[in-house]
């Protein structure tokens, strides 16, 4: 894959269009996943994706527990275990990722699984919108 193709996928991921919005929602969900599941190996798996199949497998792993992650996040915020860096009336909606979002991510994974996986994992690990409360 040439540098131009890498740049195209990166541009879509970081853009403000439908791909960028899908990335934003998925990264926000992955940040919740990170805090709730405390499973950093998923992010390593995403970043090390050698092919589309590897990245799809990691995406599946993250989505398989979506309902549990969102319910645990809501409960954890109520209990004071997690805090958000922004006002939010509907935590589930703010951190949810939908079918259309995943389709857009999969389109980019098909074009360049390595860049897509590295960018998603990096942005999710850097996301500061949800944090555990240190006690």
d(CA 25, CA 100): 11
How many other β-carbons are positioned within 10 Å of the β-carbon of residue 84?
Answer: 15
Task: Specify the pLDDT at position 48.
Answer: 96
d(CA 30, CA 91): 14
Task: Specify the pLDDT at position 15.
Answer: 86
Mean pLDDT of the chain: 92
- CA-closest candidate to residue 121, choices 8, 23, 37: 23
pLDDT digits 0-9 by tens, 23-72: 999 999 999 999 999 999 999 999 999 999 999 999 999 999 999 999 99
**Residues belonging to the chain:** 135
């Amino acid at each position: 894959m040439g540098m131009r193709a890498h740049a195209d996928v990166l541009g879509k991921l970081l853009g403000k269009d439908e791909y960028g919005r899908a990335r934003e929602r998925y990264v926000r969900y992955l940040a919740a996943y990170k805090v709730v599941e405390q499973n950093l190996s998923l992010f390593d798996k995403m970043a090390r994706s050698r092919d589309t199949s590897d990245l799809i497998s990691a995406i599946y792993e993250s989505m398989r527990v979506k309902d549990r992650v969102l319910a645990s996040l809501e409960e954890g915020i109520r209990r004071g275990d997690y805090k958000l860096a922004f006002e939010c009336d509907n935590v589930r909606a703010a951190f949810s990722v939908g079918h259309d979002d995943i389709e857009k991510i999969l389109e980019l994974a098909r074009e360049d699984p390595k860049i897509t996986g590295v960018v998603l994992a990096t942005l999710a690990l850097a996301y500061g919108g949800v944090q555990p409360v240190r006690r």
